Amino acid sequence: MKKNFNRLIIKTILIMLFPLAISAQQTAELFEGEVTFRYEYLLHLPQGYDPGSAQTYPFILFLHGAGERGDVLDSVKVHGPPKILDQEKDFPFIVVSPQCPAGEWWESYKLNALMEELVEKYRIDRHRIYLTGLSMGGFGTWDFASRYPHWFAAIAPICGGGDERRVRRLKEMPVWTFHGMKDQVVPVESTLELVRALEKIGGDITFTVYPEADHDSWSETYDNPALWDWFLEHERQDTD
């Protein structure tokens, strides 16, 4: 009886902690083989999130660019979903925005370990997991999805690039990718060659080019509600 009463108290406290949309800073202590590492990340939970219920929520993993690396987690809010979440209080997704340490790049095996922890920790709908990132995070999006495609229902890489041989593994995955035509940091050809590789094998690829945009092709992309609606149109049928 006492044990059940304690569980009731814990559940009640958790419900009180998550009545509304929540943004918080979290830490993931991870390991892969003999390698140990950690990610600090920003967490957004939708309004009404209840960790004790059976309800699950669509999920977005956001990968920032090179300029936001380091150990000041608030810098991740400069662009992308973490920025718009300050205005979009009814955003329906769980959103996790990890920070890449200074001097490092997004490494897919580490992101895979992070995903394994997140799906166990939060009420994530495994049929509706989405991935997006900009610049360095755009490269990370292409790479992570092509190495671990089983996670994602759809991806949206922005001004990135990658290995055109590996992205062929994304033939069955909906991809909406974006780039500025005048980008002098990551040339538009970096995305174009991946688009052509997927088109050649009949992939589900949409490519949006901003004719006047330079490297910042993410502001217009993330400010457009059509991206979030597009994510929600896609669900994975096979979650094994």
In a domain, 10, yes or no: no
Look at residue 91 and tell me if it is in a domain: yes
For 213: left if phi > 0, alpha if psi spans -120 to 50, otherwise beta; the answer is beta
Q: Specify if 202 maps to a domain.
A: yes
The CATH number covering residue 116 comes to 3.40.50.1820
Strands (E), 8-123: 22-32, 35-45, 57-63, 94-98
Residue 5 in any domain: the answer is no
Instruction: Count structural domains, the chain.
Output: 1
3 located within any domain: no
Helix (H) or strand (E) holding 12: helix 2-17
Residue 6 domain flag: no
Rounded (10°) angle between helices 108-121 and 136-147: 70
Say if residues 114 and 39 touch (Cβ distance below 8 Å). yes
Structural domain including 28 reads 20-232
Half-sphere exposure of 74 (CA within 13 A, CB side): 1
- CB-CB contact of 114 with 97 (8 Å): no
In a domain, 75, yes or no: yes
Written as tens digits, the pLDDT of the chain (240 aa) is 444 434 433 333 343 444 444 568 888 878 777 778 889 999 999 988 998 889 999 999 999 999 999 999 999 999 999 999 977 778 999 999 999 999 999 999 999 999 999 999 999 999 999 999 999 999 999 999 999 999 999 999 999 999 999 999 999 999 999 999 999 999 999 999 999 999 999 999 999 999 999 999 999 999 999 999 999 999 998 755
Q: Would the pTM of this model clear 0.75, i.e. be above it?
A: yes
SS3 letters across 182-203: CCCCCCCHHHHHHHHHHHHCCC
